């Protein structure tokens, strides 16, 4: 039966080959095995049940907890020429009955239902009269109490399956499953653990970065403006934050929508639609937004505040780039957020839960401060061990130079102390700039020796600099009605001249996706069709399909069919519109040559390939006794990338000379710190050591140690 799978993939979905895991999952199902499929968001789980549904006789039942997603998925199937429908609470009683009647006649290949339906005996009786070869359980982690989204009605699935006369095959699908949750899914749905299909959690098209010690709002505006044609989500912590950002962005003439739990249902739905239909390019939302959003062309997800744990972060950030095109996930970090999150957790009454949540928050903070690969950090968090630096995140690509700002730091710190450590950022900055502000004079701060010592800078610049010092833990925040700043021990050491402070240049925003004139034309064609068909644009064609059109410039039906994402049905329905637009465009722009690459995947592979050898080149230079700095300079890479390379070499047992990396005087200190803090986590070790001992030295030392053993 599997022979039919590839032709179906081509004819209906317009794809030439399977992605990782898809073939294995489809094979397993078609061999009649109950199967569990764990793939990251955007990995292509839907096809794992949609293709078997086409191969097998009868109607496949898809259980999905997300009503809005159901409609989009069914719309997309219909667009591809596959008969499908859904039944959920958004339908009237009569509509639902009509669809059930049609299903019994075998009119649909796929029937999507909400889990609550299975609690109705009447509905089960209806199902008994249908031919059901396969039951696909989407978001299968909802069945487990250990999951983050337990749904009691999922517990009825097995009973329903048992009740059906033909004992259908069960396929469970999820993007997030810890071993415990996986075990639960298998037990409760009678899946043999042997039939697990699992691809890694890595998202090869996402690039992660953390921005610290920079003006957040300025970064945000710059970023949105630079990427104004692209869709993005801005996550903010509270409803109030959402409303504030929304108003500010509107004032900047940005097409923005908003979403939070405090809005009315109607308004919320309207705002969501504006975003899905590409009418508003930016969505500002609390974490309430996003569940069940299938929009595949989200090019960036920007967190304006710190999320509460890595699970939420990866889920929210993961909504970027479901179509496989390069996308960015940026977290704007400010230490203040940590205090606020801590404060919120402290208020919870359940002690054990509180400890757990604080731990998770700490790991989120560690993520913000790691100098190593961010994607790797995430993968390690989720238990993957065989990883390598991604080569595309903010840390892997960091090549900013840094300047010594010790003197300026001392000025600020000393001013805070002289002012009594009871004031906020603005007043401190005003004193440093020598402001004539009434409060400054009233408090007598104009007589301090630090008054006006930084008068060549603006209050705003000093404010940013203070943010930077906070991000380095040299200034701490005392929460209260008004947060005040004080100098913690680490800052005092700077004042005493024991440590130097280096500040990197600010991160400048970049364009996440190259602009292309033909792409814009095609985007417009798609928008018009979508409006006429009353579906979101991404249901007609994904951005990936449009990009492939730009690369292939198809001017005939045959050529159009070669585009990834174009199947027979879409060729018939929309081929002409697009081919015509492409021809016209080419007549007007005879020398057009697309800069867009076609297949995202092979491009990635080659990146990995060069990355795969890159560490060896670093090793060669290292073995020629070049210092890290010299290697970085010669190779035009950041020091942290060079460090990652050497760690990678060490992991592979290649000859890294640690004695040249770790100055001998630090070895006894390292030894003592590791003894005290254990070797599980780097941060506690780091805290016991002088600042100059970098994470890299610690890592190197640990490898060195383990080899000695």
Binding interface with Zn ion (CB under 5 A): 373, 375, 389-390, 393, 396
Three-state SS sequence of 610-663:
HHHHHHHHHHHHHHCCCCHHHHHHHHCCCHHHHHHHHHHHHHCCCCCCHHHHCC
Give 266: exposed, middle or buried? Use CB within 10 Å, 0-12, 13-18, 19+. exposed
Question: From CA 558, how far away is CA 114, in angstroms rounded?
Answer: 40
When the beta carbons of 8 and 329 are compared against Zn ion, the nearer one is: 329
Nearer to ligand ADP, 126 or 599 (CB): 599
Residue 542 CB, shortest distance to ligand ADP, in Å, is: 5
Least distance from C-beta 168 to ligand ADP, angstroms?
Answer: 21
Of 394, 428, 614, 391, nearest to 504 by C-alpha is 394
Give the shortest CB-536-to-ligand ADP separation in angstroms.
Answer: 12
Q: In angstroms, what is the minimal distance from the CB of 371 to Zn ion?
A: 11
By C-beta, is 5 or 485 nearer to ligand ADP?
Answer: 5
**Residues making contact with ligand ADP (CB under 6 A):** 15, 18-19, 22, 39, 41-47, 296, 322-324, 542
Return all residues near 482 (Cβ < 8 A) that are at least 6 apart: 424
Instruction: CB nearer to Zn ion: give 211 or 429.
Output: 211
Query: Closer to Zn ion at the Cβ: 70 or 396?
Result: 396
Q: Which of 454, 382, 468 is nearest to 414 (CA)?
A: 454
Distance of alpha carbon 64 from alpha carbon 48, whole angstroms: 15
Q: Is 209 strand, coil or helix?
A: strand
Choose the one of Zn ion, ligand ADP, none that binds residue 396, judging by a C-beta under 5 to 8 angstroms depending on kind.
Zn ion
Shortest spacing between CB 228 and ligand ADP, in angstroms: 23
- Report, in Å, the least distance between residue 57 CB and Zn ion: 47
Q: Which does 39 bind (CB under 5 to 8 A by kind): Zn ion, ligand ADP, none?
A: ligand ADP
- Nearest residue (CB) to ligand ADP, 327 versus 341: 327
The conformation of residue 12, written as its DSSP 8-state character, comes to I
Q: Where are the alpha helices (DSSP H) in 277-419?
A: 310-317, 335-346, 351-369, 374-381, 406-418
Closest CA to 293 of 329, 330, 246, 259: 259
Closest approach, Cβ 47 to ligand ADP, in A, equals 5
Residue 393 binds which entry of ligand ADP, Zn ion, none, CB below 5-8 Å type-dependent: Zn ion
73 touches, from Zn ion, ligand ADP, none (C-beta below 5 to 8 Å by class):
none
Token readout for 491 is 């800052």
In angstroms, rounded to a whole number, what is the distance separating the alpha carbons of residues 78 and 495? Answer: 68
**How many whole angstroms separate alpha carbon 555 and alpha carbon 549?**
10
| 19 interface partner picked from Zn ion, ligand ADP, none, CB below 5 to 8 A per type | ligand ADP
**Closest CB to Zn ion among residues 141, 203:** 203
Minimum distance, C-beta of residue 114 to ligand ADP, in the bound complex (Å): 17
> Which tokens sit at 708?
């000695």
390 binds, among ligand ADP, Zn ion, none (CB under 5 to 8 A by kind): Zn ion
CA–centroid distance for 278 within its chain: 20
Q: Is residue 553 within 8 Å of 598, Cβ to Cβ?
A: no
Could you tell me the smallest distance in angstroms from the CB atom of residue 12 to ligand ADP? Answer: 11
Residue 71 or residue 333: which is nearer to ligand ADP going by CB?
71
Minimum distance of ligand ADP from residue 476's CB (angstroms): 41
Q: Pick between residue 323 and residue 388 the one whose CB is nearest to Zn ion.
A: 388
Instruction: Name which of ligand ADP, Zn ion, none residue 154 binds, using a CB cut-off of 5 to 8 Å depending on partner kind.
Output: none
Between 30 and 476, CB nearer to ligand ADP: 30
Exposed, middle or buried, 139 (CB in 10 Å: 0-12/13-18/19+)?
buried
373 binds, among ligand ADP, Zn ion, none (CB under 5 to 8 A by kind): Zn ion
* DSSP strand pairing (256-259 vs 298-303): unpaired
C-alpha to C-alpha distance for 632 and 614, rounded to whole angstroms? 12
Q: What is the CA radius of gyration of the chain?
A: 28
CA-based torsion, 101, 106, 109, 110: positive or negative: positive
């Amino acid at each position: 039966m599997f022979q039919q799978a590839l032709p179906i993939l081509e004819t209906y979905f317009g794809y030439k080959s399977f992605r990782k895991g898809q073939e294995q999952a489809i094979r397993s199902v078609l061999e009649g095995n109950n199967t569990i499929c764990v793939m990251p968001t955007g990995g292509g789980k839907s096809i794992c049940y949609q293709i078997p549904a086409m191969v097998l006789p009868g109607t496949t039942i898809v259980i999905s907890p997300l009503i809005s997603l159901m409609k989009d998925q069914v719309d997309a199937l219909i667009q591809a020429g596959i008969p499908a429908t859904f039944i959920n609470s958004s339908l009237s009683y009569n509509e639902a009955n009509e669809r059930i009647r049609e299903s019994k006649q075998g009119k649909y290949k796929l029937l999507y239902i909400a889990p609550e339906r299975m609690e109705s005996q009447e509905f089960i009786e209806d199902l008994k009269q249908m031919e059901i070869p396969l039951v696909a359980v989407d978001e299968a982690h909802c069945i487990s109490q250990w999951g983050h989204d337990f749904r009691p009605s999922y517990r009825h699935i097995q009973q329903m399956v048992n009740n059906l006369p033909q004992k259908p095959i069960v396929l469970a699908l999820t993007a997030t499953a810890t071993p415990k949750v996986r075990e639960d899914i298998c037990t409760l749905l009678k899946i043999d653990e042997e039939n697990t299909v699992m691809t890694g959690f890595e998202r090869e098209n996402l690039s992660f970065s953390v921005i610290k010690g920079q003006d957040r709002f300025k970064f945000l505006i710059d970023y949105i403006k630079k990427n104004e044609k692209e869709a993005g989500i801005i996550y903010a912590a509270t409803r109030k934050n959402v409303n504030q950002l929304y108003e500010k962005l509107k004032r900047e003439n940005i097409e923005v929508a908003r979403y939070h739990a405090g809005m009315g249902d109607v308004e919320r739905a309207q705002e969501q639609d504006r975003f899905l239909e590409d009418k508003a390019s930016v969505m500002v939302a609390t974490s309430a937004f996003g569940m069940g959003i299938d929009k595949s062309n989200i090019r960036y997800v920007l967190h304006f505040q710190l999320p509460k744990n890595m699970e939420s972060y990866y889920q929210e950030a993961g909504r970027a780039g479901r179509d496989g095109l390069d996308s960015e996930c940026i977290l704007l970090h400010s230490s203040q957020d940590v205090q606020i999150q801590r404060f919120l957790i402290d208020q919870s009454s359940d002690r054990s839960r509180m400890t757990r949540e604080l731990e998770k928050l700490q790991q989120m903070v560690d993520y913000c401060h790691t100098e190593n690969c961010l994607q790797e950090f995430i993968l390690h968090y989720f238990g993957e061990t065989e990883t390598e630096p991604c080569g595309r995140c903010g840390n892997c690509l960091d090549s900013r130079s840094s300047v010594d700002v010790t003197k300026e730091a001392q000025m600020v710190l000393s001013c805070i102390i002289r002012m009594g450590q009871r004031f906020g950022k603005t007043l401190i900055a005003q004193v440093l700039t020598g402001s004539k502000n009434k409060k400054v004079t009233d408090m007598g701060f104009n007589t301090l020796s630090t008054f006006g010592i930084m008068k060549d800078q603006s209050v705003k610049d000093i404010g940013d600099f203070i943010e930077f010092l906070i991000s380095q833990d040299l200034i701490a925040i005392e929460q209260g009605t008004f947060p005040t700043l004080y100098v913690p021990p680490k800052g005092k050491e700077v004042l005493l001249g024991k440590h130097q402070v280096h500040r990197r240049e600010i991160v400048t925003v970049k364009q996440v996706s190259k602009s292309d004139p033909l792409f814009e034309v095609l985007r417009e064609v798609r928008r018009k069709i979508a409006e006429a068909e009353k579906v979101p644009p991404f249901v007609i064609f994904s951005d990936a399909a449009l990009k492939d059109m730009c690369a292939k410039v198809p001017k005939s039906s045959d050529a159009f069919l070669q585009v990834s994402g174009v199947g027979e049905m879409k060729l018939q329905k929309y081929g002409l519109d697009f081919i015509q637009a492409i021809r016209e465009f080419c007549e007007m722009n005879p020398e057009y040559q697309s800069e867009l690459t076609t297949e995202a995947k092979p491009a990635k592979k080659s990146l990995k390939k060069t990355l795969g050898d890159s560490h060896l080149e670093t090793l060669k230079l290292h073995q020629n006794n070049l210092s890290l700095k010299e290697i970085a300079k010669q190779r035009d890479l950041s020091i942290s990338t060079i460090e990652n390379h050497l760690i990678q070499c060490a992991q592979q047992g290649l000859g890294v000379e640690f004695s040249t990396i770790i100055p001998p005087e630090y070895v006894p200190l390292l030894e003592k710190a590791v003894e005290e803090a254990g070797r599980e986590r780097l941060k506690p070790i780091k805290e016991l050591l002088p600042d100059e001992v970098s994470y890299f030295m610690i890592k190197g030392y640990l490898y060195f140690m383990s080899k000695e053993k």
